[in-house]
């Protein structure tokens, strides 16, 4: 019988084309390939971290209670551990089960914990291992076992040749303030010969009213449309502000063999070279960097970022963290 993991997450895809929490499902597949079975419990609220940061705690009481109830209700003697995506609240709830917890930090949770160092250290004491996309904030938790890695990329996105002439720049993500869309639009104003595409939805969609004419707005797109978008653009822009983790679109772009221009925040500097990085909130620097890439050949695709490479690394780390400590006297009979 396969050892079972309880997977706690604040985001999980509701259907095949839902991009929300897509990488959580991919981590589960990697764990299942490694010999585990995964039971998923999802926090039924879109954006609990955003509600927490806005001080709207009343929005989280009812779904939070359901999350705790469902997690404890699914917990059985067959489970060997918890994989908790987003440390707040998943790792905290996972600790209540009494099982060993491996936390997976995706960025927003570390941003919240950076404002509460004592809470961060408390969470760090209650997890056995940490997987993080942002190695710069990992020391907050003082966790002994850390794996710093981006989430992976679907194999079909690796090595896509451009399908149309450039220069075309893509912004793909949720339209929220931390993503720095206003900075990109100011840069677009300075580059009238460039074509910009904004793919995503959110409150910053309001900026469409005053956007320059060389910007096309697509709204939210299904997961399957990402390949076509990457194929029809030459540069992916990630103008995020401080507090961002490591947006998956940057990883997808590198795997596809696209130029990436991004703010030097979060986990982005660990993935990109200095010429690709700019200070956040600097439209002139962003425009200059984009313009400099017009005649630069596309980079080589990064196949090391595909799930076939990333997934086994995460699964091996989870397995290692669940093994009894040396000298515990316990036989290792539950971990693949």
pLDDT digits (tens, 9 = 90+) for 205-234: 999 999 999 999 999 998 889 999 999 999
| Assigned token pair, 47 | 């954006």
**This prediction's pTM:** 0.88
Distance CA 250, CA 139 (A): 23
The pLDDT of residue 55 is: 67
Residue 247: burial class (beta carbons within 10 Å; 0-12, 13-18, 19+): buried
| Assigned token pair, 246 | 């490591």
Cα torsion angle, 218, 16, 44, 119, sign = negative
CA neighbours within 13 Å on the CB side: how many for 195?
10
Q: Which ranges in the chain are annotated with CATH 3.40.50.2000?
A: 4-152+306-322, 155-292
Task: Assign a CATH topology to domain 4-152+306-322.
Answer: Rossmann fold (3.40.50)
Of 139, 135, 193, residue with least CA distance to 168: 193
The pLDDT of residue 172 is: 96
Query: 3-class DSSP state for residue 186?
Result: helix
- For the chain, how big is the Rg over CA atoms in Å? 20
- Residue recorded with tokens 């036989």: 331
The pLDDT of residue 326 is: 54
Task: Write out residues in the chain with pLDDT < 70, as ranges.
Answer: 45-47, 50-53, 55, 57-58, 325-336
Cα torsion angle, 205, 206, 211, 216, sign = positive
Strand order in the sheet with 101-105: 37-42, 4-9, 79-85, 101-105, 129-132, 146-148
Residue 100 and residue 128 in contact, taking contact as beta carbons nearer than 8 Å = yes
Kindly state the greatest CA–CA separation across the chain: 68
Task: Assign a CATH topology to domain 155-292.
Answer: Rossmann fold (3.40.50)
Element (H, E) at 79: strand 79-85
DSSP 8-class letter at 303: G
Distance CA 67, CA 292 (A): 49
Of 141, 99, 148, 108, residue with least CA distance to 124: 141
Distance CA 277, CA 270 (A): 11
């Amino acid at each position: 019988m396969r050892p079972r993991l309880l997977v706690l997450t604040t985001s999980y895809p509701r259907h095949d084309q839902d991009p929300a929490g897509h990488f959580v499902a991919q981590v589960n597949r990697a764990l299942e390939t490694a010999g585990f079975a995964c039971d998923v419990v999802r926090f039924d609220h879109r954006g609990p971290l955003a509600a927490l940061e806005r001080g709207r705690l009343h929005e989280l009481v009812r779904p939070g209670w359901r999350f705790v109830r469902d997690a404890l209700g699914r917990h059985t003697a067959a489970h060997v551990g918890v994989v908790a995506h987003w440390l707040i609240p998943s790792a905290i709830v996972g600790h209540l089960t009494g099982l060993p917890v491996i936390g997976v930090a995706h960025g927003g949770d570390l941003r919240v914990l950076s404002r509460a160092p004592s809470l961060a250290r408390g969470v760090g004491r209650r997890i056995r291992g940490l997987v993080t996309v942002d190695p710069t904030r990992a020391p907050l938790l003082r966790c002994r076992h850390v794996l710093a890695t981006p989430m992976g990329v679907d194999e079909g996105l690796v090595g896509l040749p451009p399908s149309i002439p450039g220069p075309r720049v893509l912004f793909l993500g949720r339209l929220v303030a931390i993503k720095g869309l206003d900075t990109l639009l100011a840069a677009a104003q300075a580059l009238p010969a460039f074509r910009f595409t904004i793919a995503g939805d959110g409150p910053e969609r309001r900026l469409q009213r005053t956007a320059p004419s060389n910007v096309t707005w697509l709204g939210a797109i299904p997961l399957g449309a990402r390949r076509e978008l990457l194929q029809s653009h030459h540069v992916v822009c990630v103008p995020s502000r401080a507090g961002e983790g490591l947006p998956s679109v940057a990883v997808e772009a590198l795997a596809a063999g696209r130029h990436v221009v991004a703010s030097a925040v979060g986990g982005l500097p660990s993935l990109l070279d200095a010429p690709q990085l700019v200070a956040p909130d600097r439209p002139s620097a962003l425009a200059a960097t984009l313009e400099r890439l017009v005649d630069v050949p596309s980079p080589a695709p990064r196949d090391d970022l595909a799930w076939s490479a990333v997934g086994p690394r995460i699964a091996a780390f989870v397995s290692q963290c669940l093994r009894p400590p040396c000298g515990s006297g316990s036989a290792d009979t539950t971990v693949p």
